Structure 1
Amino acid sequence: AGHGAVAAGALRWGEPVLDSAITAIRSDGPWYRGLSACRAAREGACFESIAEHLWEEHDAQPWGGGSALAVPRGLRPVDAIAMALVRLAVKEPDRHLPTREPTLRIARRLIPQLVSAVAHAQGGRERARRAAGAKSVAEALAIAFGVTPRRRVVRAIDATLVVSADHELNPSSFTARVSASAGADLYACLSAAIATLSGPRHGGVPERIATVLDQIGRPERAAAVVRERLGQGEAMPGFNHPLYPSGDPRFEVLLEQARAIGGRRRSLAVVEALVGAMDLAGGAAPNYDLGTTAIAAALGLGPHAATALFAIGRSAGWVAHVIEQRQAGFLLRPRARYVGV
């Protein structure tokens, strides 16, 4: 009975359930194979270099080379990514090769293709073509959302992707590992991961935050809304993280970048007013999800863009977890503790 309780607790932010050399969670944020993600983001690291670091690749490799993919206009970015994964999978002759090199070759082409699918859903064929020709994933994302890819904007998006790239056994990365352990190809593993990320308790959190921000409307209303919600015992999305009891360091990185690109936007002012009101009320500290919401607000975009930034950034970690799980060579098959009659 004691062993069963420990096993059950391990699946709820408890003790580690498997070994990994990808990411360590520390008080100052995630460390990717010995590299501080927050420091790398502040120092201007580009997303591609961090992805290669997670994949243990030390020589610069070309990214891109895939054709832009047409998806229906108006799709949510996360749905465009999901559709693109399915459509691209059936065209990939090497998708069933489980070895490292074909996997990385596909990943370097696939991630930019996912961004071009987002661009097509947001702005049509011409925007997708422009995104496919961008110099980097961060620049392509700016183009995808119709934002002028100024240097500061691209740097802010890169910083967002860098701190998003991995976070140990989060739900979507664990899902990717389970799929990989069953022998699924990379496209299938990432499809499973994006399906998990789409949930309102994972990558969909910014949509829940947006509901609160809409309720606030103006910065001066933040304190009243916070008192009302906390007084009614309602959860405040975008705050608290069990792994960072003193506050999520990724939020500070993202807020710095948001201020640098959109400091005068009213939508960002509402986000900051919410943070201040929660602090005055003795509430929990803001987390990563509020940080990506701040970045989207600074860019003049909505919560769907925040989820897209999360998904594209985390795709680097998904690939790393797929490779590591394949190398581990065992099937992930937890046991259930029977509590029925």
Structure 2
Amino acid sequence: MVKEKEPRAQSRFDSRHEELVSAAEAAELLGVKRATLYTYVSRGLVRCVPEQGTKENRYVKADLERLKTRHDARAGHAAVAAGALRWGEPVIDSAVSRVGTEGLAYRGHAAVRLAEEGRSLEDVAELLWTGTLPAEPVRWPSPELPLQPSAVAELLPKRSPPVTVLQAVVPLLGAWDEVRFAAPAEQERIRGRRLLRHLAAWVCAAHAPARVARALKEETVAASLAVAWGATAKRAPEMLNRALVLCADHELNMSTFAARVTASSGADLYACVSAALAALSGPRHGGACDRIEALLQEVGRPERARTVVHERLRRGESVPGFGHPLYPEGDPRTPPLLEAAYALRPEPVGVRVLRAVEEAMREAGHPAATVDIGLVALAVALGLPAGTAAAVFAVGRSAGWVAHVLEQREQGHVLRPRARYVGTPVTPPT
């Protein structure tokens, strides 16, 4: 029998904080032969490092678990159930949205179709909140401005990312709403409409507070975002609306689950959204767009894309924005965003860089781009500043956060999972 030769270790990445396993353990975890494991390494899907004093390698367990989840997803939704709370099946009942083999659906309506038909975020929010898609376009009234943007701006560093600004503003808006506690569902929907309008207008508060009031006077959330960021492209509101709709909900991701847990405690809507924004601020959730923006800076020019991608893969480093565990065949939200970004003329250098990175990853046989790539491409195409892609995600997803808060309150139970104790055994009394 010919013994398979282990692949060359990728020793140039920092593995100090990674849990490593042997080749035998790695193959067993994936349920494959060692030769298949080595193929995954050569394709850059699994990283490995040399084990000191031996000729063998150790494999990054997080990469293996991510790859196994994606493979399990191909076998059907039921196969993922064993990984509940780790990209697994929903742990609570919800009728808000569903991710399945047919893609993403909001209350039974395909999200991509809603976006491509030009349905507004307001229409989609009403669908998520009530279960009924409005027959006529919805228009939400412009809310009052309880805070002076200039005063808030004085409290924030001018270079504060938009999501950081929203984290500061939402609790302040809540403090001015004295009747926010134990509100009936209809009042919460009114409050949700007002809050989404505020989120879109306040994204610029740190560096351009004078735009907040003007943005609030716009007719739609997307138009408010365009004014807040000073987007001059004629199609900016239309393109931003498409992104908002595609980001409106996505089952029980981390920020949504945080909102539901907070809602189950009886906290007010602002507190629930603040909890969701706190979860979104983590690099494992909302940080993908920031890493893609950093990749754009690293590549710089379209002709350098292949070199940078191949060097990252050779060093065992990841290329952000590719491969979604719930979409083994590709994230359906991404093509509509890239289509809109690539259609703008003249095409900015940053868009051409992203296109080149996407092509390099596709040629190397890696998974398709995620929605984060689409959001960054759209922001770059519109000439928006760094950090805006993550903010578009946050504003759009706030529609889903409100929907899940309403649903959690209707269900009425407290979300309090039990822990499975794995510590030191308890000594029985003598």
- Counterpart CA distance in 1 for 2:398 and 2:269 is 11
1:136 is aligned to 220
1:89 is aligned to 174
Residue 265 of structure 1 aligns with an amino acid whose one-letter code is P
2:269–2:402: 8 Å Cα contact kept in structure 1?
A: yes
State the 1:262 CA deviation: 5.2
Q: Which has the higher contact order (CA 8 A, sep 6+)?
A: 1
**TM-score, normalization by structure 2:** 0.75
State the 1:82 CA deviation: 1.1
Distance 1:99 1:262, change over 3 A: farther
Q: Does the residue aligned with 1:98 lie in a helix, a strand or coil?
A: coil
2:99 is aligned to 25
2:166–2:203: 8 Å Cα contact kept in structure 1?
A: yes
State the 1:98 CA deviation: 3.3
**Which protein has the bigger helix share?**
1
Q: Does the residue aligned with 1:310 lie in a helix, a strand or coil?
A: helix
- Counterpart CA distance in 2 for 1:330 and 1:217 is 51
2:121 is aligned to 47
- Counterpart CA distance in 1 for 2:225 and 2:146 is 13
1:205 is aligned to 288
State the 1:116 CA deviation: 2.1
Count how many residue pairs are aligned between Structure 1 and Structure 2: 334
- Counterpart CA distance in 2 for 1:263 and 1:241 is 30
Q: Does the residue aligned with 2:416 lie in a helix, a strand or coil?
A: coil
State yes or no: 1:219 paired with 2:302. Answer: yes
1:154 to 233, 237, 262: 237
Residue 332 of structure 2 aligns with an amino acid whose one-letter code is P
- Counterpart CA distance in 1 for 2:191 and 2:381 is 33
1:333 is aligned to 416
1:10 to 60, 69, 84: 84
Larger radius of gyration: 2
Moved more, 81-90 or 186-195: 81-90
1:116–1:128: 8 Å Cα contact kept in structure 2?
A: yes
State the 1:215 CA deviation: 1.3
1:299 to 366, 375, 382: 382
The percent identity for this pair of structures is 49
State the 1:300 CA deviation: 1.2
- Counterpart CA distance in 2 for 1:225 and 1:209 is 13
1:123 is aligned to 208
Once the two structures are superposed, the pairs formed by residues 254-265 of structure 1 within 5 Å of their partners are 254-261=337-344, 264-265=347-348
State yes or no: 1:107 paired with 2:192. Answer: yes
Q: Does the residue aligned with 1:25 lie in a helix, a strand or coil?
A: strand
Residue 283 of structure 1 aligns with an amino acid whose one-letter code is H
1:122–1:144: 8 Å Cα contact kept in structure 2?
A: no
State the 1:61 CA deviation: 5.8
State yes or no: 1:184 paired with 2:267. Answer: yes
- Counterpart CA distance in 1 for 2:94 and 2:345 is 37
How large is the Cα RMSD of the aligned pairs? 1.7
Once the two structures are superposed, the pairs formed by residues 167-182 of structure 1 within 5 Å of their partners are 167-182=250-265
Distance 1:289 1:79, change over 3 A: same
1:64 is aligned to 142
2:341–2:377: 8 Å Cα contact kept in structure 1?
A: yes
2:96–2:107: 8 Å Cα contact kept in structure 1?
A: yes
State yes or no: 1:273 paired with 2:351. Answer: no
Q: Which runs of 5+ in 2 are unaligned?
A: 1-79, 425-430
2:19 is aligned to none
Residue-by-residue CA offset, 1:42-87 (whole Å, 9 max, x unaligned): 1111111111111115664633322164121623211111111111
Distance 1:45 1:122, change over 3 A: farther
2:50 is aligned to none
2:315 is aligned to 232
Distance 1:311 1:195, change over 3 A: same
State the 1:282 CA deviation: 1.1
- Counterpart CA distance in 2 for 1:207 and 1:295 is 14
- Counterpart CA distance in 2 for 1:282 and 1:219 is 19
State the 1:263 CA deviation: 5.5
1:28–1:249: 8 Å Cα contact kept in structure 2?
A: no
- Counterpart CA distance in 2 for 1:145 and 1:186 is 26
2:341–2:381: 8 Å Cα contact kept in structure 1?
A: yes
2:291–2:320: 8 Å Cα contact kept in structure 1?
A: yes
- Counterpart CA distance in 2 for 1:92 and 1:289 is 33
2:110 to 22, 36, 45: 36
State the 1:169 CA deviation: 0.2
- Counterpart CA distance in 1 for 2:100 and 2:209 is 42
State the 1:9 CA deviation: 2.4
Q: Which runs of 5+ in 1 are unaligned?
A: 1-5
- Counterpart CA distance in 2 for 1:46 and 1:245 is 28
- Counterpart CA distance in 2 for 1:149 and 1:211 is 24
